[in-house]
């Protein structure tokens, strides 16, 4: 799991979301992020730029809740 998702994980658990649902949600977000990175790389961006762009497209913890 992406280290950046730790805050989101903790936030969801504190909010009362069942751990199994949190795990599934974060797995899906991770997969989506990986897809975005791959898409950025296919567009010709280097690894660092692709990852930065993918994170920008995914949004922050508040926007994915």
DSSP 6-61: HHHHHHHHHTT--HHHHHHHHHHHHHHHHHHHHHHHHTT--HHHHHHHHHHHH--T
pTM for the complete prediction? 0.84
Residue 53: pLDDT above 90? yes
Q: What is the pLDDT of residues 20-35, one digit of tens each?
A: 999 999 999 999 999 9
Confidence of residue 60 (pLDDT cuts 50, 70, 90): confident
């Amino acid at each position: 799991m992406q280290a950046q998702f730790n805050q989101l994980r903790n936030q969801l658990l504190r909010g009362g979301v069942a751990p199994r649902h949190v795990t599934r949600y974060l797995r899906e977000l991770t997969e989506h992020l990986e897809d975005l990175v791959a898409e950025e790389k296919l567009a010709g961006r280097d690894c660092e730029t692709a990852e930065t762009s993918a994170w920008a497209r995914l949004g922050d913890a508040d926007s994915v809740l």
